[in-house]
C-alpha cells in the first residue's frame, strides 16, 4: 500500500443522503495497515458496538484499493494489449470501433468505424490510451467517428484522481463483504462519498462512485447497484466464503481483501476463510462487538484469530461524527460504563423465601441430592421468579397458581427422601409461594413505584400490561429500566446499544445476582484482548457473583410446567424388594423431556454428525455406547420391533 493510497483513505468522506460528509474513522486507517494474514491469522477489530462499521470499512477500502489497482494495471497497460482488427469500446461513450494500429512517429492511435474504415477513420493522442477497453458483445457499434469535445471524467476519477474514463479494464473486484445482505444493500444505497480535490468538494452517491455487486455460488460476479460508470463491481458481497473461493478459482485471482461483518459469520466460515488466506493469499478483516466476546475467545483457541481492541479515541475522534455518530457515541459511553446497576426492592416474604431456598439448596448439595436440588429447588426458584414478576398493573395470573400446585405435587413424591429439616423448610417455602401468588398486586406495586421513580413519569397502560422482562425508557431517552426476569439475548439487545446513559434493574435480592453475574461475565470479557491501559473498565459492582442454582441452557431454570418427579417415584421403586437386582445405568434425557435408562454396556443407534450424511443415499448411523452419547446427538429408535432395551425398561418402570 503506497502512501498516496493512504492519503486517499484518510481524505475520503462519507455521509447519509442530505447530510454533511465527515472523514472516515481513524480506526479504519489503523485496521487497513494491519495484515496478520502473513502469519496465517485473521485480524479482528474489537469494539463496543459494530453497527454498520463493516460496511463503511468495505466501502472506504474499496476506494483505496481501486486507486492502487488502477495504478498497477495502468502501468501494465500498453498498445500490445490490442491487435489490428480488435474491436474496442471508446470511453466515455462506450461505442465500439475497430483498432487499426498506431502511428509510432506521431504518437497517435488509429481507430475506424466497424466495416467502414475508408470513411470512418480517425486518430487519438497516445496519452488517451486509457480510453480504450475491450468491447462487450452488448456494446453498441458506432456509426460515425466521435465528435471532438472535452472529455468528462467519471465520479470515481474525480474522487481518486485518475483518468480511467470508466475503463473497466483498469479495475476489478478487490474487496468482498461477507455479511448480511439487507444491511449491505441499505448502506450502499443510502451513503454518499465525498472528497476535496484541488480545493473543490466532489460528492456523489456511492453507486455512482463505486459499483457494487454479488458473488454467486458459481463464482460469477453480477452488478447489484444502479447503473454506474463501470461494468465491473469494485466491491461485492458474498453469502458464503465458499462462494469467494469459487470466485478466486474461476477468475484466477488472489490477494483479495475480505471484510467479515460479525463473530457469528467468522465462526461459521472460519475453515473456508483460513483456506482463502492459505491458498489465495487473501487479507481478512473481521469486526466483533463487546456482546460477542465469549464467542471470539473460543475462536482464538484455533490460533487463526488476531483480536485487537480498538481504542475509543479511534472511534470517537470528535464531537460531531456525522454518519458514524451512533457507533462513535457508543465507544464514548463505553468508557467506564456500568452495564447494569441495581435499584433494590425488598419484601419480607420474598426475601425470606429466597434465603430459605438457598439454604435448602446448599444442604442438598452437601448430601449429593443433585437431582432434587436441580429439579425441585431449581423449579421453586423459577416459580418464585414468575410470581415476583407479574404485570405491573397487578393483574393476577391463574397460571401461577397451577405452577405452585404442580411444584407441591412433585415435592410430595420425593419428600420422604429428604432430611427432616429441609423437608420442613421446603414446606414453609410452598406456603410462602401460595401467599405471594395471591398478592400479585402488592408485588407489582413495589416494582411499579421503583420503576416510575427512576424514569420520573407514570407508566402507560401499554407498559403496565406487558409481561416477562419489561424495558422502560424515560422521556429524555437517557435512562433504561429493566423490570422482570431477563433473558440474556434480550438484555444484550438493549444494553449493548449504548444508547442510554444509565441502565438500572428493579430487582429483589435474589434477582439482583443474575445481573451481577451478567456484569461480571462482561467485565471479564471487555478486558479480553485489551491493552493494559484501555479504558473500557467499569468501576463499581465489583462483588463476585454467588451462584445458588445450576443453570441450564441460557441462564434459565427448568420450566415449572415440566414434571420429572417420576424419576424418583417410578424408577426408584423397581428395586425396593430386591436391592441386588439393581442394574447400573446411564440416564439420557431427550429434548421432549423423555428419559432413557441405558445400561452402561449398552449402545444406541446414533447420528453423531447429520451434516456429514447430507447429500448421500444413507445416513451415517453408528452404535454408540452410553458414555459416548453427547448433547446434540440424534438417537434412532426402530418402529415395529419389541427388542429395544428402552422399550423393555419403559414397560417395567411405568407399568
> Using one digit for the tens of pLDDT, what is the confidence trace for 466-477?
876 788 888 888
Mean pLDDT of 248-268: 93
Residue 283 has pLDDT above 90, yes or no: yes
Mean pLDDT of 509-528: 67
What is the full DSSP assignment across 600-611? TT-EEEEES-GG
Q: Can you give the pLDDT at residue 530? A: 45
Give, in order, the Cα–Cα distances in Å from 500 to each of 292, 541, 548: 20, 18, 31
Residue 382 has pLDDT above 80, yes or no: yes
User: 82, exposed or middle or buried, with CB in 10 Å at 0-12, 13-18, 19+?
Assistant: buried
Mean pLDDT of 350-372: 84
Q: Can you give the pLDDT at residue 617? A: 52
Which segments of 433-513 are extended strands (E)?
A: 470-473, 479-483, 502-507
Q: Can you give the pLDDT at residue 609? A: 61
Strands 235-238 and 175-178: parallel
Q: Can you give the pLDDT at residue 237? A: 94
Contact call for residues 627 and 584 (beta carbons, < 8 A): no
Q: Which residue from 242, 251, 175 is spatially nearest to 210, judged by alpha carbons?
A: 175
Contact call for residues 518 and 491 (beta carbons, < 8 A): yes
Q: Rounded to an integer, what distance in angstroms lies between the CA atom of residue 251 and that of residue 36?
A: 25
Mean pLDDT of 87-94: 83
Residue 258 has pLDDT above 90, yes or no: yes
Fold of 80-155: SH3 type barrels. (2.30.30)
- pLDDT tier at 486, thresholds 50, 70, 90: low
Q: Can you give the pLDDT at residue 124? A: 86
Q: Where is average pLDDT lowest: 44-48, 82-86, 96-100, 257-261?
A: 82-86
Residue 285 has pLDDT above 90, yes or no: yes
Q: Where is average pLDDT lowest: 106-115, 150-159, 280-289, 318-327?
A: 150-159
- pLDDT tier at 287, thresholds 50, 70, 90: very high
pTM passes above 0.85: no
Q: Can you give the pLDDT at residue 54? A: 94
Contact call for residues 14 and 193 (beta carbons, < 8 A): yes
- pLDDT tier at 554, thresholds 50, 70, 90: very low
- pLDDT tier at 536, thresholds 50, 70, 90: low
- pLDDT tier at 336, thresholds 50, 70, 90: low
- pLDDT tier at 43, thresholds 50, 70, 90: very high
Q: Where is average pLDDT lowest: 69-78, 91-100, 280-289, 615-624?
A: 615-624
Do 3-73+158-324 and 80-155 show the same overall fold? no
Q: Rounded to an integer, what distance in angstroms lies between the CA atom of residue 208 and that of residue 228?
A: 5
Report residue 303 as a C-alpha cell: 490460533
Which position has the higher pLDDT, 153 or 539?
Answer: 153
Give the number of other CB atoms < 10 A from CB of residue 403. Answer: 22
Q: Where is average pLDDT lowest: 218-232, 303-317, 547-561?
A: 547-561
Q: Can you give the pLDDT at residue 523? A: 58
Residue 106 has pLDDT above 80, yes or no: no
Tell me whether the omega of the peptide bond preceding residue 92 falls within 30 degrees of 0, making it cis.
yes
Q: Can you give the pLDDT at residue 64? A: 87
Q: Can you give the pLDDT at residue 94? A: 80
Q: Can you give the pLDDT at residue 539? A: 40
Mean pLDDT of 101-113: 83
Mean pLDDT of 298-313: 86
Mean pLDDT of 614-635: 70
- What are the sequence ranges of the domains in the chain? 3-73+158-324, 80-155, 336-576, 583-654
Q: Can you give the pLDDT at residue 584? A: 61
Our CA dihedral for 5, 7, 8, 9, rounded to 10 degrees, sits at 90
Report which listed range, 158-172, 401-415, 591-605, is most confident: 401-415
Q: Does the domain formed by 3-73+158-324 have CATH 3.90.1580?
A: no
Residue 647 has pLDDT above 70, yes or no: no
- What's the mean pLDDT when you consider all of the chain? 78
Helix axes 293-300, 509-526, angle to 10 degrees: 50
Q: pLDDT tens digits for 579-590? A: 444 556 677 767
Residue 37 has pLDDT above 80, yes or no: no
Amino acid at each position: 500500500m503506497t502512501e498516496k493510497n493512504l492519503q486517499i483513505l484518510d481524505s475520503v468522506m462519507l455521509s447519509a443522503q442530505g447530510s454533511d460528509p465527515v472523514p472516515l474513522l481513524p480506526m479504519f486507517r489503523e485496521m487497513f495497515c494491519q495484515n496478520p494474514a502473513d502469519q496465517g491469522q485473521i485480524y479482528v477489530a474489537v469494539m463496543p458496538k459494530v453497527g454498520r462499521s463493516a460496511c463503511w470499512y468495505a466501502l472506504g477500502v474499496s476506494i483505496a484499493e481501486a486507486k492502487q489497482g488502477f495504478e498497477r494495471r495502468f502501468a501494465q497497460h500498453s498498445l500490445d494489449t490490442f491487435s489490428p482488427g480488435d474491436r474496442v469500446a471508446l470511453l466515455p461513450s462506450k461505442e465500439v470501433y475497430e483498432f487499426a494500429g498506431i502511428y509510432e512517429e506521431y504518437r497517435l492511435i488509429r481507430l475506424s468505424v466497424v466495416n467502414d474504415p475508408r470513411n470512418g477513420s480517425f486518430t487519438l493522442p497516445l496519452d488517451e490510451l486509457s480510453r480504450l477497453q475491450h468491447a462487450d458483445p452488448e456494446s453498441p457499434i458506432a456509426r460515425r467517428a466521435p465528435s471532438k469535445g472535452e472529455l468528462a471524467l467519471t465520479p470515481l476519477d474525480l474522487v481518486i484522481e485518475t483518468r480511467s474514463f470508466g475503463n473497466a479494464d483498469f479495475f476489478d473486484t478487490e474487496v468482498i463483504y461477507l455479511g448480511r445482505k439487507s444491511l449491505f444493500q441499505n448502506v450502499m444505497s443510502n451513503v454518499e462519498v465525498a472528497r476535496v480535490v484541488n480545493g473543490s468538494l466532489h460528492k456523489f452517491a456511492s453507486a455512482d462512485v463505486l459499483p457494487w455487486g454479488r458473488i454467486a455460488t458459481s463464482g460469477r460476479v453480477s452488478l447489484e447497484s444502479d447503473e454506474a460508470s463501470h461494468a465491473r463491481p469494485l466491491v461485492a458481497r458474498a453469502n458464503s466464503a465458499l462462494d469467494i473461493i469459487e470466485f478466486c478459482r474461476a477468475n484466477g485471482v488472489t490477494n483479495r481483501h475480505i471484510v467479515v461483518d460479525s463473530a457469528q459469520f467468522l465462526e461459521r466460515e472460519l475453515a473456508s476463510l483460513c483456506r482463502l488466506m492459505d491458498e489465495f493469499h487473501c487479507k481478512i478483516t473481521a469486526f466483533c462487538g463487546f456482546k460477542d466476546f465469549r464467542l471470539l475467545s473460543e475462536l482464538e483457541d484455533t490460533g487463526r484469530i488476531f483480536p485487537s481492541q480498538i481504542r475509543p479515541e479511534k472511534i470517537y475522534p470528535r464531537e460531531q461524527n456525522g454518519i458514524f455518530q451512533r457507533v462513535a457515541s457508543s465507544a464514548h459511553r463505553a468508557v467506564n460504563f456500568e452495564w447494569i446497576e441495581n435499584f433494590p426492592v425488598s419484601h419480607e416474604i420474598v426475601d425470606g423465601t429466597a434465603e430459605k431456598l438457598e439454604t435448602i439448596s446448599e444442604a442438598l448439595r452437601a448430601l449429593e441430592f443433585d437431582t432434587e436440588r436441580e429439579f425441585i429447588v431449581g423449579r421453586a426458584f423459577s416459580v418464585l421468579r414468575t410470581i415476583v414478576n407479574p404485570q405491573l398493573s397487578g393483574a393476577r395470573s391463574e397460571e401461577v397458581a397451577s405452577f405452585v400446585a404442580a411444584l407441591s405435587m412433585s415435592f410430595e413424591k420425593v419428600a420422604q427422601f429428604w432430611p427432616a429439616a429441609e423437608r420442613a423448610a421446603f414446606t414453609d417455602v410452598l406456603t410462602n409461594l401460595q401467599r405471594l401468588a395471591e398478592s400479585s398486586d402488592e408485588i407489582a406495586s413495589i416494582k411499579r413505584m421503583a420503576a416510575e421513580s427512576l424514569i420520573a413519569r407514570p407508566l402507560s397502560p401499554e407498559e403496565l400490561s406487558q409481561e416477562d422482562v419489561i424495558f422502560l425508557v424515560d422521556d429524555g431517552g437517557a435512562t433504561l429500566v429493566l423490570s422482570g426476569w431477563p433473558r440474556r439475548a434480550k438484555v444484550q439487545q438493549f444494553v449493548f446499544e449504548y444508547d442510554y446513559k444509565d441502565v438500572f434493574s428493579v430487582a429483589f435480592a435474589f434477582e439482583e445476582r443474575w445481573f451481577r453475574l451478567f456484569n461480571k461475565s462482561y467485565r471479564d470479557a471487555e478486558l479480553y484482548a485489551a491493552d493494559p491501559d484501555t479504558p473500557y473498565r467499569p468501576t463499581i459492582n465489583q462483588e463476585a457473583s454467588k451462584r445458588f442454582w445450576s443453570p441450564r441452557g441460557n441462564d434459565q431454570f427448568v420450566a415449572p410446567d415440566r414434571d420429572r418427579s417420576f424419576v424418583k417415584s417410578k424408577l426408584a421403586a423397581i428395586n425396593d424388594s430386591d436391592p441386588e437386582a439393581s442394574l447400573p445405568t446411564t440416564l439420557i434425557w431427550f429434548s421432549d423431556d423423555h428419559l432413557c435408562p441405558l445400561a452402561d454396556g449398552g449402545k444406541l443407534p446414533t447420528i453423531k454428525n447429520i451434516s456429514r450424511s447430507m447429500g448421500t443415499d444413507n445416513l451415517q448411523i453408528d452404535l454408540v455406547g452410553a458414555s459416548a452419547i453427547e448433547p446434540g446427538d440424534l438417537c434412532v429408535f426402530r418402529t415395529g420391533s419389541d427388542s429395544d432395551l428402552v422399550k423393555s425398561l419403559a414397560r417395567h418402570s411405568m407399568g
